[in-house]
Amino acid sequence: MPAHLILGGARSGKSRHAESLAAASGLPVTVIATAEALDDEMAARIRRHQDDRPEGWRTVETPVALAATLQREASAGRCVIVDCVTLWLTNLMAGAEDLPAPADAGRLPALQAERAALLDILPTLPAQVLLVANEVGLGLVPETPLGRLYRDEAGRLNQMLAAVCERVTFVAAGLPLALKGAA
């Protein structure tokens, strides 16, 4: 079943939109959560997301091995939400601040390998897959080389995902706008 990429800014309603699509599918739902509770504020955010999900939805915590987790969880007759691809990218770029300037993703082999695996597996998955990602390219240019590398890699990843997904939706102010395929 083709994947659906759901993009938006912070607090745009993209996760809520993905959750409403999953609920409307009538399928059993698994949420693949990529966030790690590295501080109290992030732990509170994760709890809020968990509390907002309907009972019966499974959650699988996967900070890095997304393609392998999708291979295992995205079986026929299921709906899988990946929330969020951008945090997954953050996890893959951990340690990038130690790269000598100018930083480039070519020196991040885990990022290259995991991204390639994700792009290879997505078109083969029989589940309905909803990928939630931040659109970070609409804001200010980051001050640091690492911030610019992250923004660039997020933009590249979103473009690559959009190319392999049958549907792409941009969410702003809670309103979905179909960019590719049906809304």
Catalytic position from the list 49, 148, 151, 180: 49
Structure tokens at 19: 């959750």
How far is residue 57's CA from residue 39's CA, in Å, rounded to a whole number? Answer: 25
Question: Which phi and psi angles does 107 have, rounded to 5°?
Answer: -95, 15
Mean pLDDT of the chain: 90
- Looking at residue 50, what is its pLDDT? 79
pLDDT digits (tens, 9 = 90+) for 127-172: 999 999 999 988 888 998 888 999 999 999 999 999 999 999 999 9
49 is catalytic: yes
Cβ density class 163-181: b for 16+ within 10 Å, e for less: eebebbbbbeeeebeeeee
Residue 38 belongs to domain spanning: 4-180
Number of separate domains in the chain: 1
Q: What CATH number is associated with residue 62?
A: 3.40.50.300
